[in-house]
Structure 1
Amino acid sequence: MSMRMPSNFGRPGEQESALDLLGHEILAEKAAALGRAGQRVEETLARLRENGGDEHRPQLLRDAAEAVHGYFIQRELCGLRKHDAVIREYNIPNAVLARLGAK
C-alpha cells in the first residue's frame, strides 16, 4: 500500500517537503525514545549496583534486564545492530546479559 498526499495540499515540491518534515519528526522521536531507554538503563543499573547484595537482587536483575532489552530493541529500530560498545559503556553485568540470553 502506498500513500500519497492529498491533491489539495499544494504543489508537488511542497508535498515532498511536507513528507521530509514528517521524516525528520519521526527521526527526532526515535532519538528521544532511545535517550529515554538509555536513561532507564542507567537508573536500573545504578540501583542494581547500590543494592545488588541484598534480598532484592532478583527483582533488580529483572528490572535491569528488562531495561537493557528495551534499549537494545530501540537501538535496533534506529538501525544500530551491534551492542558490544554499549555493553562496555554502560558496564552491563554478565548476570543481566545472561537473562537476555546474550552470554
Structure 2
Amino acid sequence: MALRLPGRITVERASSATGLQPVEHEILGEMASSLGEAGRRAEQALAKLAEDEAGLEGEAREKRLRAVAAAVQAYFIQRELCGMRRHDDVIREMGIPKRILARLGAR
C-alpha cells in the first residue's frame, strides 16, 4: 500500500524550494514597481529642473525646487522601505544637486 501526501504539503514543499510564498512574491513585485515609479518621477523632476531653471525666478523657482525635493525624498523613502539605506550612488548617478539635498536635510 502506497501513501500519498496531502496536496497542501506538496504545495508547501514546492514554495519552500523557491523560498517565497505566492503572497511574498506578489509583495516583492509591488515593491519593485513602486520603486521604479518613484525613480522615474524623481528623474523627470530633475530633468525638468535642469531644463527650466535658467528661466525661473522668484516664486516659480521656489515652487519647482520644492517639487523636485519632494520627488527625490519620495524616491529615497521608497528605497529605504526596500532595504536600500545608502543613497550615495543614486545621488551621483542621477546628478542630484546639493541645493536639493540641502532641502532634504543633507549636509
**Pairwise same-fold verdict (TM > 0.5):** yes
Equivalent residue runs for 1:60-99 within 5 Å: 60-99=64-103
**Percent identity (aligned):** 55
SS at match of 2:21: helix
Aligned residue for 2:38?
37
The gaps in structure 1 that reach 5 residues or longer are 1-9
Report the AA paired with residue 71 of structure 1.
Y
The gaps in structure 2 that reach 5 residues or longer are 1-6
Runs of 4+ that moved beyond 3 A: none
Equivalences, count: 94
- TM-score when scaled to structure 1? 0.83
Per-residue deviation, 1:63: 0.6
Q: 1:31, 1:46 → 2: CA distance?
A: 22
Report the AA paired with residue 90 of structure 1.
M
Which has the larger Rg? 2
Please report the RMSD computed on the Cα atoms of aligned residues, expressed in angstroms. Answer: 1.7
Per-residue deviation, 1:52: 1.1
Aligned residue for 2:11?
14
- 1:52-90 Cα offsets, whole Å, 9 max, x none, are 121221111101100010000000011000000000000
